[in-house]
């Protein structure tokens, strides 16, 4: 007789609203741009990057 593998039941992920996805991708792109500017020309400050990261965290908090 074969042993049966027990499966853990995982709750399906809740679908995210389109507004969340648009804002998330916008802020991720903004962070990438700021990091590139900082690396290449040094024009973006750490403060700008932190502001974008805080905004991304706020969006995650609001839409969970």
The domain limits of the chain are 18-62
Angle in degrees, 0-180, between the axes of helices 18-40 and 46-62, rounded to the nearest 10 = 170
What is the predicted pLDDT for the residue at 36? Answer: 94
> How many C-alpha atoms does 29 have within 13 Å on its Cβ side?
6
Q: Say whether pTM exceeds 0.75.
A: no
Q: Look up residue 37 and give its two tokens.
A: 């500017």
Give the pLDDT confidence of 13-48 residue by residue, as tens digits. Answer: 788 899 999 999 999 999 999 999 999 998 888 999
């Amino acid at each position: 007789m074969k042993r049966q593998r027990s499966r853990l039941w995982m709750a399906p992920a809740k679908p995210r609203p389109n507004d969340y996805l648009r804002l998330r991708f916008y802020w991720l792109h903004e962070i990438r741009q700021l990091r590139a500017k900082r690396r290449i020309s040094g024009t973006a400050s750490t403060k700008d990057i932190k502001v974008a990261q805080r905004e991304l965290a706020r969006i995650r908090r609001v839409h969970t």
